[in-house]
Amino acid sequence: MDSISNMIIMMKNASLAGNKSVAFPNSKIKSAILGCLKKEGYISDFSKKIKKGGAVLEVELIYMNDKAKITEVERISKQSRRVYFRMKDIHPVRNGTGMLVLSTPKGILSGREARREQVGGEALFKIW
C-alpha cells in the first residue's frame, strides 16, 4: 500500500465526514508534506505523538463556513509509474484554487514555490 496515498485519502475522508482531526503513522516524508500543506493553508496544524503502536502524526483540519477545505485529492506519481515535471510544466491547479505538491531537490514544495525556486521534480499529488 502506498503510504502517501493512504494519508491524503484519510485526510479527505475525515474532512468530508466533519472530523476535527485525523491520525496516521509517522514518517519523515509525511511530516514534510504536512509542513507544505500547513504553509499553504490546507491544514491548521499537525503534531507528532507517541501512542502504543508507535509514533503517529495527528492533523487538525480546517473548515471554512462549515465546508471542508480539502474536498478532493488526486495522486499523480504512483509506485508503478513515476511522473516528473520540469519547471515549465508546472501550472496552476483548478485555476489557482488547488495545489500541486512536488518532491524536488530542495525538499517537498508546492507548485507555486517550485516555480519561484525554479526547480522541477516528482509530482506527488494535487489537492483542492
Contacts of 13 (CB under 8 A, 6+ apart): none
User: What is the predicted pLDDT for the residue at 31?
Assistant: 97
Angle CA 37–42–48, to nearest 5? 55
Contacts of 114 (CB under 8 A, 6+ apart): 87, 90, 102, 104, 120, 121
All cell numbers assigned to 75: 495522486
Contacts of 81 (CB under 8 A, 6+ apart): none
Domain boundaries, the chain: 3-127
pLDDT at 1 over 80: no
User: What is the predicted pLDDT for the residue at 10?
Assistant: 97
Q: Once rounded to an integer, what is the mean pLDDT over residues 52-58?
A: 92
Q: Kind and range of the H or E element at 22? A: strand 21-25
Q: Which fold has domain 3-127?
A: Dna Ligase; domain 1 (3.30.1490)
DSSP 8-state class, residue 66: T
pLDDT band at 52 (very low <50, low <70, confident <90, very high): confident
User: What is the predicted pLDDT for the residue at 53?
Assistant: 83
Segment 59-93, tens digit of pLDDT: 999 999 989 999 999 999 999 999 999 999 999 99
Q: What percentage of the chain reaches a pLDDT higher than 90?
A: 95
